[in-house]
Amino acid sequence: MHTLRAGRLAVVPIVAGLTIVATWAPFVALASPPDASQIVRDEALSPESRTRICVLGTIHLGQLAEEAPQRGIKALLDVLEKYKPDLIAVERIPGETIEFWLRQTPTYDQQIAAFAASAIDVGLAAQKHLNVTRREAEAQAAELLKTSQADPTGPVDAGQCARAAMLLAAAFDVSSAALQWSYLTNGQRAQFPAEAKAVATGLDKVLRSPTEDVAIGVALARRLGHNRLASIDDQCDAAFQLEHGAAMMAELGQTDELRKLQDSVLMTELPARTSRAMQSGDLVGLYRWINSAEYARADVDAQWHIFLRSRLASGLDRARAAAWEARNLIIAANLRRAIVAHRASRVLVIMGASHRPFLEAYLGQMMDVEIVAPETLLGS
């Protein structure tokens, strides 16, 4: 038989003594591959036996010109508390990542300054006081908290909370350290060793922070009596932004896509709605909107699909889109690891709203995960 070659005449035997001459097209249509997520997922699992994950998209409260009103925060916490998550994950850098950054200085100095400064300041002071490494502190904290669960309505073991706060701080898990610190009264905090004053002062400062990991994450965890939170963020795309961000934006500015971004819901309606919510205190209404399918579509189209449409000669647009997806994939993996460590079955993730559709898409393909739409908690 003659070898078949794309785009050439080929002699094909049909039966003995009979042949036909056929012209083969350069490209052969292939059958669509099966949906791998349908193979991976166990559809026989009942919804109640799945790992339920709700990704709550949030604005970055710490970046607002004015602090979010407490009545609005309380109303939002009242709604979220009904979900009763057994694990709360927040947009903080994990301790092991911070440790890696410190070992690679000065490579990650800008990331450290932007995303981990408070955790490092408190953490290094705690490590010095306890004379432990980050890994030793993490192991001791895990052992200490293994069998204990705080009672938010009853008395706490002040000694254990203080010890846990110190160990978690030394592990660079500042959100969990702040949670343990929050269980102590001002009088109990005042009894903290004088030589560890830097840790106490640092944790007091974290608890006063208006950021969503504290104002929502720590506050809700305290209501539920949790021992710690999961820090699951990653900043792998920061290196790309630092090296190429300015050049990419200059090149993007020569296209019509940047104007479309400036006219998008993200740049116009979001600031207006946020300002009204700060005045009225209706954070539940604001969060209902930014967690809607309508907002997610508008945000992804304006902020991320722009890099698929712009077709920059440098290719930096496609690289930026890929870097964003890489970050979200790592966040999803960090969450999965946290679920393993905490044996969690009902999870609340508090992340910037732009992450939500990507995390839902990735996590929703996993074997036993059931995505809980935030609208079911926030109402319609």
Rounded to the nearest angstrom, the gap between the alpha carbon of residue 66 and the centroid of all alpha carbons in its chain is 24
Distance (Å) of CA 268 to CA 34, 113, 257:
41, 30, 16
Q: Report residue 94 as tokens.
A: 């994990």
Q: What is the pLDDT of residue 367?
A: 94
> Residues for the chain: how many in total?
380
Per-residue pLDDT of the chain (380 residues; tens, 9 = 90+): 444 344 443 444 434 444 444 444 455 556 677 788 788 888 888 888 999 999 999 999 999 988 899 999 999 999 999 999 999 999 999 999 999 999 998 999 999 999 999 999 999 999 999 999 999 999 999 999 986 655 555 567 999 999 999 999 999 999 999 999 999 999 999 999 999 999 999 999 999 999 999 999 999 999 999 999 999 999 999 999 999 999 999 999 999 998 888 888 888 999 999 999 999 999 999 999 999 999 999 999 999 999 999 999 999 999 999 999 999 999 999 999 999 999 999 999 999 999 999 999 999 999 999 999 999 999 86
Q: Among residues 344, 329, 349, which one has the least CA distance to residue 92?
A: 349
Distance (Å) of CA 362 to CA 41, 49, 236:
12, 20, 17
Tell me the pTM: 0.89
Q: What is the pLDDT of residue 149?
A: 59
Provide the pairing of β-strand 51-58 with 18-23: unpaired
Dihedral, 197, 202, 204, 210 alpha carbons, nearest 10: 170
- For Cα atoms 160, 91, 354, give the angle at the middle one, nearest 5 degrees: 160
Q: What is the pLDDT of residue 150?
A: 56
Question: Domain coordinates of the chain in residue numbers?
Answer: 36-91+232-380, 95-230
Q: Can you tell me the distance from the alpha carbon of 251 to that of 322, in angstroms, rounded to the nearest whole number?
A: 18
pLDDT in tens, 328-350: 999 999 999 999 999 999 999 99
| Sign, CA torsion 223/225/228/231 | negative
Q: What is the pLDDT of residue 14?
A: 39
Distance (Å) of CA 214 to CA 110, 120, 174, 266:
23, 17, 10, 24
pLDDT in tens, 25-42: 455 556 677 788 788 888
Q: Among residues 337, 357, 363, 361, which one has the least CA distance to residue 57?
A: 357
Q: For the chain, how big is the Rg over CA atoms in Å?
A: 26
Provide the pairing of β-strand 9-15 with 18-23: antiparallel
